[in-house]
Amino acid sequence: MYPELVRIGSFPVHTYGVLLALAFLTALVVAARLAAQDGLARDRIYDLGLWMLLAALLGSKALMLLTEPSYRAEPRQLLSLDFLRSGGVFYGGFLAAVATGYALVRRYGLPWWPTADAFAPGIALGQAIGRQGCFAAGCCWGKPTVLPWGVQFTELGHEVTGVPLGIHLHPTQLYESFAAFAVFLFLIWLHRRKSFNGQVIATYAMFYGVMRFTIEFFRDDPRGDIWGLTTLTHLSTSQMISLLVGISGLIIFIIRRRAAIQQTPLKVASTTPDAARAR
């Protein structure tokens, strides 16, 4: 609701940008602390996280370019202030960051699954903070609603993002923010109790896939259509990616769990007479 945090002279400091930076920083700090608990090198996690951050920024812009026909029709808009200050599409950033992390973990001497588990809670917390920035800016808005928690955005928000005025909308930004924070708390709990490596990141993928797929039904901002798939399936681009992410998380969970069970040494039963009598 407050797109501009402060204004320094004629230069506006956007709330979204500040919260997005805070989200990245917080996610990286959480990942480094959890990794240190698992015996991983904290400095390596910070180095890896910075490369993943850069990949996330580029990936989010790349998917935005694919989903927004206006940018493809007018390539000059890629240098516009609106494009540069936009956050892009989350899934593009997430997938690019995962790919970059996977490519670099060996270079930094880090094991993939424990590293991914350490990053998962931080990603969820970063989303919770970042979506507060979306709410402040007015982007990613929801459909009209008569529910008591429907929100109206300000004229400044309309100027920045084009959010409709004079009508109550689903606060989909807050839906995702609160849900992501709940996922973060659960993943922190799970990280301390996980029974196999890969369990935390797989659980995050399943939870977020379901969460995002559901919230998309309440969103009403223009989100583009890649290769006409949205028209064909009646699902948004993010919903289709959510299905892939959620199913991938489930598959990883099953495979990693089975591998952990197979690697667990069987307890050899005692064959002493006393043990036999006890049985």
Mean pLDDT of all residues in 190-201: 96
- C-alpha distances in angstroms, 271 versus 245, 264, 265, 267, 268? 48, 21, 18, 12, 9
What does the block give as tokens for 230? Answer: 């949205």
Residue 171 pLDDT more than 90?
Answer: yes
Answer with the residue of higher pLDDT: 114 or 91: 114
Residue 227 pLDDT more than 70?
Answer: no
Q: Over pLDDT 70: what percentage of the chain? A: 82
Answer with the residue of higher pLDDT: 232 or 175: 175
pTM over 0.85: no
Number of separate helices (H) and strands (E) present in the chain: 12, 2
Q: What is the overall mean pLDDT for the chain?
A: 84
Q: Over pLDDT 90: what percentage of the chain? A: 53
Residues 189, 96: Cα–Cα separation, whole Å: 27
